[in-house]
Amino acid sequence: MKSLIILGAGGHGKVVAETAIATGCFKEIVFLDDRFSENKNNSNLFHNFKVIGKLSLLIENDLSSNYSNAVVALGNNKLRLNWLNKLIKTNYNLPTLIHPTAWVSPSAVISSGTVVFAKVVIQADVRIGFGSILNTGCNIDHDVILEDGVHICPGVSLAGGVYIGKRSFVGIGSSVIQNITIGSDVNLGAGSTVVKNLPDKITAVGLPAQILSKKKMYNNKE
């Protein structure tokens, strides 16, 4: 049995921790969070787990001897990837957490640092990039490619052959038809339906999805 340190004690962190517990692979789980206070020891608990320090503790001290595995539970895609890269440089192991109720095709490839939550379906020949989030109950059909740091929200359906670029965010309940390309740093609003390709660095919403602006939105800071 292994130990695990989770960066980020927010709502997303709760689900990451419970997913880790469900795998049955970890004997101890602790958190780092910037809301930690050395003067409030009794309050440094989160969801019945210890919060042992701020995120910077990971860099200032070598915790890897006690916690060799680490996962980043931050919803902001860019920030999550930045911390994952710091973890790589400090020799932490970055597990792929997959809830036991998820179904993953044996031909799918899921990169390290990615979390796959309950009831997710990942079909044949899917490729999931580094540090991605596949949130509760999303469906990823055959031959989908997700680049690094993508967040697929609960209830999203991606049809076969969809490509999504780095750090993009697909809002809750959205749908993307087959063979669509979505660029990097795209934010797709909740409940949208994508029927044509979307370029990099835009926000799109609606049925069908329409481009609103080139400004970012929705990247959760949990």
182: part of which helix (H) or strand (E)? strand 181-182
Q: How far apart are CA 130 and CA 8, in angstroms?
A: 18
Q: What confidence category does residue 69 fall into, taking pLDDT thresholds of 50, 70 and 90?
A: very high
Secondary structure class of 149 (helix, strand, coil): coil
Within the chain, which residue ranges are assigned CATH 3.40.50.20?
2-89
Within the chain, which residue ranges are assigned CATH 2.160.10.10?
97-205
Q: How far apart are CA 162 and CA 55, in angstroms?
A: 35
pLDDT digits (tens, 9 = 90+) for 148-174: 999 999 999 999 999 999 999 999 999
CATH class of the domain whose range is 2-89: alpha beta
Q: Look at residues 132, 131, 137 and name the one whose alpha carbon lies nearest to residue 118.
A: 137
The first and second tokens of residue 171, run together, are 């809002």
Q: How far apart are CA 55 and CA 51, in angstroms?
A: 10
Whether 12 is catalytic: no
Q: What confidence category does residue 221 fall into, taking pLDDT thresholds of 50, 70 and 90?
A: very low
Q: What is the pLDDT of residue 42?
A: 54
Please pick, among 47, 99, 142, 151, the residue that the annotation labels catalytic. 142
Q: What does pLDDT average to over the chain?
A: 92
CATH architecture of the domain covering 97-205: 3 Solenoid (2.160)
Question: pTM to 2 decimals?
Answer: 0.92
